[in-house]
Amino acid sequence: MGFSAGLNLAVFVLGLIVGSFLNAVIHRLHTGDSILEKHSRCPHCQHALAWRDLVPLASFIVLAGRCRYCQRKISLQYPLVELCTGFVFVLIAQNFQFSITNFQSIFNFQFLFQLVFTCFLIIIFVYDLKHYLILDKVLWPAVILAAGYELWQGNFWSAAVGALVLAGFFGLLFAVSRGRWIGFGDVKLGIFLGLLTGWPEVLVLFFLAYLSGAAVGVGLMAAGTRGLADRVPFGTFLTASAFVVMLWGEGMITWYFQLIGIR
């Protein structure tokens, strides 16, 4: 196995471990338990889980997707979040082009911050998908961290414009519709995602979120699982689009400008 492949594998395993932690955070945010609580428990029988029950992905496979103690099914959320976190960590590593010649890049603060921001995006995505709610206790720390990071990087004004545009537009939709078209949580989420992507990349985020949201909404209605009056958690499309823009937004903007002959 080459160095790059081995490093990617190490980053993937790190993602699995972090994904397992994120699952615990998501569950405890909903139940109100402390994130610092020592033992994880089965959500069904409340039995304390041993280390062998918590090995990322492997425990789910060995236990055939069931609790060792009560035999009830374990939610697919757990392996899916672990796998997705592993894969997106590898995508971020690939974006930094880690190799034997630039191994020091793994200690690059930009890389580490992107991992942290990705963790926030995953928590918001899963929680909004499950509970149709974006928690302030997750969102405001993310906003503060993003603002501090962009200030440190010298990109604060671009980030501030991105936040103003995205949150301002969502705020207008919220006010005009009196909360029928969009929730106030999405308005606050716009601050974080606008800071994270900045201007003009926030326009790509806006386009991708609405395009993917419309496509999924139409697909669900065509399948008969949703109607026009049913809610779709828009925060999930925003966070997924933000991850895409965080990695490739600048390149997408450049490609588009070249396509229309501006650059």
Domain co-membership, 82 together with 120? no
Contact 166, 205 (CB under 8 A): yes
Domain co-membership, 77 together with 95? yes
Domain co-membership, 242 together with 126? yes
Domain co-membership, 87 together with 209? no
Q: pTM surpassing 0.75?
A: yes
- DSSP-derived letter for residue 229 is T
pLDDT band at 230 (very low <50, low <70, confident <90, very high): low
Q: Which of 78, 107, 136 is the last residue of a domain?
A: 107
Confidence check: pLDDT of 84 > 90: yes
Contact 86, 78 (CB under 8 A): no
What distance, in Å, lies between the first and last C-alpha atoms of the chain? 41
* Domain of residue 133, residue span: 109-263
238 vs 182, higher pLDDT:
238
- C-alpha distances in Å from residue 243, one per residue of 23, 27, 161, 209: 19, 22, 19, 11
Q: Which of 73, 107, 141 is the last residue of a domain?
A: 107
Domain co-membership, 90 together with 113? no
Domain co-membership, 56 together with 118? no
Torsion of Cα atoms, 206 then 12 then 20 then 129, to 10°: 20
25 vs 226, higher pLDDT:
25
Structure tokens at 22: 């994120």
The string of pLDDT tens digits covering residues 26-83 is 988 988 877 777 777 777 787 777 778 778 888 888 888 888 878 888 888 999 999 9
> Angle 65-66-70 (CA atoms, 0-180°, nearest 5)?
175
Q: Which of 83, 107, 131 is the last residue of a domain?
A: 107
Total structural domains within the chain: 2
Domain co-membership, 218 together with 229? yes
Domain co-membership, 160 together with 96? no
Sequence-distant (≥ 6) Cβ neighbours of residue 11 within 8 angstroms: 89, 90, 93, 98
Domain co-membership, 150 together with 216? yes
Give pLDDT, residue 100. Answer: 43
Domain co-membership, 84 together with 195? no
Domain co-membership, 261 together with 138? yes
Domain co-membership, 131 together with 254? yes
Sequence-distant (≥ 6) Cβ neighbours of residue 91 within 8 angstroms: 247
Q: Measuring CA to CA, which residue among 200, 199, 191 is closest to residue 238?
A: 191
